[in-house]
Amino acid sequence: MTVKVLQTSSPSLYVFQTSLPALSTQPTKDSGCSELSLMETREYLAVALKKPTLTPKAIIHQNFGNKASYVVEEVREVHQTECPGLSIPQMGPCLYRCTLQLPELSVISGTFKKKKDAEQSAAEIAIEKLGIRTEAIDPTPQEAQRSLVARIAYLFSDNFLMCDHPLSGHIRATLWSKGDLCGSLPITVIAVYDAKLISLCKCINPEVESAPFLVFSYIKKATAKFCEFLTTSEQNLWIRRKNPYPQDILESFMVEDVSQDCIQVAAIRIPSSVEQSIEAVTLHISLKEYYLDIIADELGVEDAANILISRNLGKASSETRLFFTASKSYLLDPSKFPNGKENLHFEGCLNIRASYLSGQDIIGDAILASIGYTRKSRDLFYEDVTVQLYHRMLLGKTPGGIYKLSREATLVAELPSRFTTKANWRGSLPRDILCMFCRQQRLSEPLFSITNHPLKTSSGSSGSCLKVAESDTNVIGCVNGTSVAASPKLSDSDVFKCEIKLLSRCGDLILLCSPKDCYKKQNDAVQNTSLTVLSWLNNHIKGMTVPFEQLYETADNFNIQICSKNIFREILAGQPIHNGQLNAIRFNKVVESTCMNSPYDTPGNGVKSLRIDGQDSGVCPCNGSLPCIRYSVSLVVEGENLKEVIEVCDEFEFEVGVGSVVSYVEEVVMQMSVGQCAYFTMNLPTSDFIFASAGDSVKILSLLSSKECCMEYEISLTKVAEPPEERMEQALFSPPLSKQRVEFAVRHILESHATTLLDFGCGSGSLLEALLNYPTSLEKIAGVDISLKGLSRAAKVLNSKLGKIFEADVQLTNIKSVILYEGSITNFGSRLHGFDIGTCLEVIEHMDEDLACLFGDVALSFFSPRILIVSTPNFEYNVVLQKANPPTQEQEESDEKTLLQSCKFRNHDHKFEWTREQFRQWASDLAARHNYEVEFSGVGGSADVEPGFASQIAVFKRDWKLEDELLKHADTEHHYNVIWEWNSKKE
């Protein structure tokens, strides 16, 4: 029989053209099927196979092949559309445009951030212009049945044998076998390695997704249609052509160069009995024999036809699989095979460890190996599978394990409990971990739903009190487990919520996470909600003995709704141990466990014999900081001079206070300063973690089995990145100090009835933007800064915000004019003279101290605002912020100088930070020199409680009726450039 594949005029249609030998008139003894007439056979083979949905580029390639030429060019243009009137040239992001040249026409795509998107767009435009049909309709069960018959015929055709397909590699390998096994392809192999055939079986019966061995029966039924050309029987679990392949085809691949007579492949045997440990085995495979026969021999069965093969483990392209056996009765009648939904009684022993690893039921002993045939290659692919890789694969079945592996720190890293900022996160992001976990559990990709939530405001009669509407969300995040109250907002789209759904492959809802917290950034909402789901899953996997009623309670704590039926079928089916233990193998007091979350969950674990060497440099980690350590972990035999290094890392950075390392490591690091080394020992973690880290598993196994061991840690603290000032403040204050400073300024604006405001050192415009959220009396606001980059950002933010405000039906602000100037605040420009109120919040500490003093004189003598508000950090409060908790009574009673000597500036960019006394002296002298009165206040903390306010504030005022004689003596030159200007009359 010869089968050729022809492409029809429709790009989504294939037709088989078949050349058949004469039909035999003698019935086949072992066929067990009725004959199929030549006409019926051709009718089955001439069937249209629906192809899966193709990308536009794939469709173009299908129609034009190499005649399609893609040329991608980089596009980078001056970009002004975001902020009209901005005088700073703004280069847009790097974009790409693609030109697709076809024989019939040429098309040009739009601009895209990614090259591949530009190429796909160009192909899509070409498809539309050429009128090529792209619709792909899923076949009906009847159509899929007919297509399955045609597919079986094609798999055993001459053409298929010569193509580079994983299954054709298996067929070629079987031709090396002798006797009846020559060319006999196991049905189990067809059911695993032909994706198209599997897809057709799923169309016939969706249950195939959860019970893959049902494919056997469909293959056998389809094969029965060709009893004159293919042979099989109820007793033979393979399919073979009756007529041999043409001699020229056989010779073409039989004479292919074989560089090695035999290869050695490292694999793992996983016994079905949990009383036996896993062990490394070596498969000696000749390239002139079928590798599945070697695996069958290793498992003690007759031939490859009796071998079952699991789904691929890990990546879709991976050839790492489990090979195992089952009673022939189950192979002949797959409906008897357990499917994981029920606790059925069946012959053979369920292999708990292998089943957990694969997510499907494995019977008897199993071989874990990475070997097989791949697409676009006729060579046998193989990789060694070690004990370490086996345990790392086990580790990767849990959310915490995925994070540990991404950091390459099995014994130190931990899935963090909180997502603070993307800049501080290390390792795979929560969203990526969740997607990977779903793939590991054979679930659908998680669905993320992002929504905008308005925070309405209402003002009292005085306009000084702003409240969040009760009907709206009043939380923007969580810091140290405490909800942070939302600040007043007027914009209708500046906070986000994320909802996540986990679905089975069949679309059944497994769980829904709908947290109440809102976030300023969309990405923060996605990452935090993902981490919420991961944390609950991690806790659940860690404590699988929890009764189902408590499972519901814990889900409520995480704002998760679960579907008991689906979650137990889809997630717990892959973890069939209900006592929380995977293996009962014990090495002294070590137990291997599926609960691979923290390696130190056993009561009584703690740091032993801690020793810290080196001088105290004074540079210590604090809450929110990013310490970087160099560490090594060794297995040490107690009482003997035996030491085996297990895990080493030269540069490991983590955020303090979010649980991103095991608690004992953080506990030790917090006692160290940069340059010091710490040495300590601990009890053994579960052996899964040891083997996942250790390279020499044989030596480790020997030590664990015969000796009393412990873990020895050696840690060096190499550097500490200080936490951003705002992060430190958020850890203690709600709302954050930045919000409190804005509210302080707003209160004085309302009291003064000021109509004009000038912000000295406006930076990226955070204060000016925040002022737009409040119904103040301001009509004109201006900002001045020396940084063009900051001013550019400020212009974009303000332009966007003002646009939204004035698009609303109700006018929410009286602002009529906004101007941004570029220049130093120590130089005077007459256009900035005489504003009602000036603000300089957390700016002067970024200048040299002498320039800060110069600014004070220039501001009060030349700019002459009626009111000037200056805030700066209180250096004395740093002892509280940097320890992330209030000072104890013992600290309060200690020498103040000793405490302050251990403190650092809040930001690496600060040139100085003043104590309360220094700040009062500077402000009082300044006010006296320029006929201003000054009042002292602050935000964060209290003036009556040591160490005072976190941010100290001076409010300078002068008499409104005082005649202004200063301007005539001032330099009237314009030292400032207008960078951007907005006027409501122009809008």
- Of 156-165, 197-206, 913-922, give the range with the top mean pLDDT: 913-922
Question: Residue 950 class from Cβ within 10 Å (0-12 exposed, 13-18 middle, 19+ buried)?
Answer: buried
pTM for this predicted structure: 0.64
* Residue predicted with more confidence, 856 or 176: 856
Give the pLDDT score at 849. Answer: 93
Comparison of pLDDT for 251 and 280, the residue scoring more: 280
Region 971-980: mean pLDDT is 74
User: What is the structure's pLDDT at 231?
Assistant: 86
3-state secondary structure 521-552: CHHHHHHHHHHHHHHHHHHHHHCCCCCHHHHH
Average pLDDT over residues 859-868: 93
pLDDT of residue 809: 58
Helix orientation angle between 522-542 and 548-557, rounded to the nearest 10 degrees: 160
Q: What is the per-residue DSSP string for 431-445? A: HHHHHHHHHHTTPPP
pLDDT at position 937 = 95
Judge whether residue 687 has pLDDT over 90.
no
268: number of CA atoms within 13 Å, CB side? Answer: 25
Q: Report which of residues 669 and 620 the model is more confident about.
A: 669
Q: Is the pLDDT of residue 516 over 50?
A: yes
What is d(CA 713, CA 55) in angstroms, rounded to the nearest whole number? 52
What whole-number distance in Å separates Cα of residue 45 and Cα of residue 43? 5
pLDDT the model gives residue 741: 92
For helices 387-395 and 399-407, what crossing angle results, to 10°?
130
Q: Do residues 747 and 680 lie in contact, with contact meaning Cβ atoms separated by under 8 Å?
A: no
- Taking alpha carbons only, the member of 851, 873, 869 closest to residue 860 is 869
- pLDDT over 70 for what percent of the chain? 74
- Please state, in angstroms and as integers, the Cα–Cα distance from residue 937 to each residue in 741, 746, 777, 947, following that order: 11, 15, 23, 13
In eight-state DSSP terms, residue 53 is: P
Asked whether residue 410 carries a pLDDT value surpassing 50, the answer given is yes
Q: What are phi and psi of 379, to 5 degrees?
A: -90, 155
pLDDT digits (tens, 9 = 90+) for 543-576: 555 555 666 777 878 888 887 665 655 565 444 3
At residue 275, the pLDDT reads 85
pLDDT, tens digit, 9 for 90 and up, residues 50-89: 445 678 998 998 888 888 999 999 887 655 556 777 777 7
Residue 841: name the closest of 744, 962, 979 by CA.
Answer: 744
User: Looking at residue 917, what is its pLDDT?
Assistant: 95
Please, which residues have CB within 8 angstroms of residue 208's CB and are 6 or more apart in sequence? 198, 201, 202, 214, 215
Least confident of 427-436, 885-894, 962-971: 885-894
State the pLDDT at residue 669. Answer: 93
> Which band of pLDDT confidence, cut at 50, 70 and 90, is reported for residue 316?
low
pLDDT higher than threshold 60 for residue 43: no
Answer whether residue 210 shows pLDDT above 80. Answer: no
Strands 366-373 and 262-270, bridge-based pairing:
antiparallel
CB burial of residue 961 (10 Å; 0-12, 13-18, 19+): exposed
Are 147 and 61 in contact by the 8 Å Cβ rule? The answer is no
Dist. CA 749–CA 901, nearest whole Å: 38
Q: How far, in Å, CA of 287 to CA of 941, rounded?
A: 77
Residue written as token pair 């024999």? 289
Say yes or no to pLDDT of 538 above 60. yes
pLDDT at 250: 81
Question: pLDDT tier at 639 (50, 70, 90 boundaries)?
Answer: confident
Q: Tell me the average pLDDT of the chain.
A: 78
pLDDT score, position 378: 81
More confident residue, 53 or 516: 516
Quote the pLDDT of residue 494: 62
Q: What is the mean pLDDT of residues 160-170?
A: 88
CA distance 526 to 522: 6
What stretches of 624-764 show up as alpha helix (H) in DSSP?
A: 663-669, 687-693, 697-706, 725-730, 737-752
List b or e across 656-694, with b for residues whose CB sees 16 or more CB atoms inside 10 angstroms.
bbbbbbbebbbebbbebbbbbbbebebebbbbbbbbbbb
Read out DSSP for 651-673? EEE--TTTT-B-HHHHHHHTT--
Which pLDDT value is given to residue 369? 95
Query: Does the structure show a pLDDT above 60 at 22?
Result: no
Partners of 721 in beta bridges: 626
Higher pLDDT, 870 or 220: 870
Q: With 70 as the cut, is the pLDDT of residue 461 above it?
A: no
Preceding amide of 27 cis, omega within 30: no
Residue with tokens 């504030």: 953
Calculate mean pLDDT across residues 279-301. Answer: 90
pLDDT band at 831 (very low <50, low <70, confident <90, very high): confident
Look at residue 960 in the predicted model and tell me its pLDDT: 60
Look at residues 858, 855, 868 and name the one whose alpha carbon lies nearest to residue 966.
Answer: 858
Q: Identity (one letter) of the amino acid at 526?
A: V
Mean pLDDT of 178-198: 87
Which one, of 337, 308, 310, lies nearest residue 325 by Cα?
308
Task: Give the pLDDT score at 724.
Answer: 63
Q: Tell me: the pLDDT tens digits for 723-753? A: 666 666 666 787 888 889 999 999 999 999 9
781: closest CA among 743, 830, 816, 734? Answer: 816
Q: Which of 365-379, 836-850, 870-884 has the highest mean pLDDT?
A: 836-850
- CB-CB contact of 534 with 399 (8 Å): yes
In the three-class reduction of DSSP (H, G, I as helix; E, B as strand; rest coil), residue 870 is classed as: strand
Most confident of 24-38, 341-355, 411-425: 411-425
In the predicted structure, residue 870 carries a pLDDT above the cut 70: yes
Q: What is the pLDDT of residue 817?
A: 93
Q: What whole-number distance in Å separates Cα of residue 570 and Cα of residue 503?
A: 9
CA–CA distances in Å: residue 124 to residues 56, 107, 370: 5, 10, 39
Confidence of residue 473 (pLDDT cuts 50, 70, 90): very low
Tokens found for residue 470: 């009760």
DSSP structure class, residue 84: T
Let me know: does 455 contact 472? Beta carbons within 8 Å: yes
